[in-house]
Amino acid sequence: MPTCLFNCPAPAKLNLFLHVTGRRADGYHLLQTVFQLIDRCDMLDFTVRDDGRIVRTNDIPGVPADSDLVVRAARLLQAASGKLEVGADITVRKHLPMGGGLGGGSSDAATTLLVLNHLWQTGFNRGQLMALGLQLGADVPFFLLGQNAFAEGVGEELVPLRTAERWFVVIEPGVSIPTAIIFSSKELTRDTKVVRITDFPDAHNLVDKGFGRNDLEVVAAKQFPVVAETISWLKTFGNARMTGSGACVFCSFEHEYQADEVLKQVPSQWHGWKAKAMQEHPLDHLLSAL
């Protein structure tokens, strides 16, 4: 077995729509969404230690190591497996913005669980890892599932779904939005009608067909006007919408050259990039090859 793995991808996700359908007694919101993997990724390096220590080897501004989901994921797997004698050095190279609604922290945690499960030979199956991941955050099980999905509950009830092959322009407006601020707003719609997979357009091209909406978008756009400005600008090119609880905004295109043309026009105060839809988590191929 290898003792290290480098350049392990932790891909971003987009919420092709995000409906809030209710609220549980414990305060958690009930959601319906489609998670879409895209090929923009954080990259992580792992080296096994024999002293049981979990060490994040690099600084990430605003994220102390002990509260980092990567470190918490490693310690959770350590405790669940009983393999307290092994540890890891973990380097996280961030390419995804924090507070952007792209799931970067959750994806980093999922990649950590998948890779260390392999390196430490803990033997957990995907379902067991997903149950562990849910303890870290509602989005983590999706990244562990390894493919696009229709999600319900708090985001943990997942049905695999093949989505349309598209290119996306994603714009970072330059603000970081704490999820709690959006979900705690009194103005948030919490009674959107429940949908079914059979309601989806053919070939699951949800964004271009105008299916659904992001219920969090109205709240985020009101509290962070730059998000409203970004959505308004990008809507001149297609059916733009916000992902997650923000702040990133995206628009879907059939061809890469269309995305390139839009990127040339992005105002200088924002950061824009393109990404391609993926159907499967890229780490699955890497671990299968090993």
For residue 201, count other CB atoms closer than 10 A to its CB. 13
For residue 113, give every residue at least 6 positions away whose Cβ sits within 8 Å of its Cβ, in sequence order, or none. Answer: 73, 76, 77, 129, 132, 133, 140, 144
Rounded to whole angstroms, the Cα distance separating 44 from 37 reads 17
Structure tokens at 89: 């050095």
- In terms of C-beta density within 10 A (0-12 exposed, 13-18 middle, 19 or more buried), how is residue 239 classed? middle
Rounded to whole angstroms, the Cα distance separating 244 from 33 reads 9
For residue 21, give every residue at least 6 positions away whose Cβ sits within 8 Å of its Cβ, in sequence order, or none. Answer: 30, 31, 32, 190, 191, 192, 193, 194
Q: Hunting for tokens 């989901």 — which residue is that?
A: 69
Between vectors from CA 288 to CA 284 and to CA 139, what angle results, nearest 5°? Answer: 20
Structure tokens at 289: 């090859």
- 186 as an active site residue: the answer is no
Q: Catalytic pick from 13, 45, 215, 274?
A: 13
* Chain centre distance of CA 198: 24
Q: Hunting for tokens 């803990």 — which residue is that?
A: 122
Structure tokens at 211: 């299916």
- 235 as an active site residue: the answer is no
The kind and range of the H/E element at 171 are strand 167-172
Could you tell me how many residues make up the chain? 290
Q: Catalytic pick from 45, 68, 108, 139?
A: 139
Catalytic residues, by residue number, are 13, 139
